[in-house]
Amino acid sequence: MVWSSLAKTLAWPMAKKSAVRIAAFMAANPKLQASVQQQVTLASRRIAEAQRARTPEEKVSRAMVSVREQAEWVLVHEPSEHDEARARGWLARADKVSQALTLVQHLHRRERQEPLAKVTASADALVAEVLLSLVDDDPPSIEGR
């Protein structure tokens, strides 16, 4: 339970702050390409779907789908070396979170709480990082795609 509280205290507020920054960035840059706007909308929708999931396991699983989609989008749109490495890192981390989730699901309910809280915290941190990347302080890297 401690990890779950920690995740709620740290990661989701970061995600919420990121969403606000995304909205402000979009409002300040009306000439963004349609594909970027669609990607931000899709990522926001996926994250909202993950939050509405019924079980913590389902929330983590949906969140990793969203992370993978964002990473794939970055890789398809001719990223810089830095962006490509970052996207590949997200994919690797999403794979590790998914693998850990699979292992946690094999545990009995009573044994599942602590490991699931750690997996959830890792997933929340990864989602927050991906969200923050959408409102990078360096707009040319976003517009240059």
For 103-145, write each residue's pLDDT tens digit: 999 999 889 999 999 999 999 999 989 988 877 645 444 444 4
Distances (CA, A) of 78 to 61, 70, 74, 84, 139: 27, 14, 7, 8, 16
Q: What is the pLDDT of residues 22-78, one digit of tens each?
A: 777 767 766 665 666 677 777 777 767 666 767 888 889 988 998 999 999 889 988
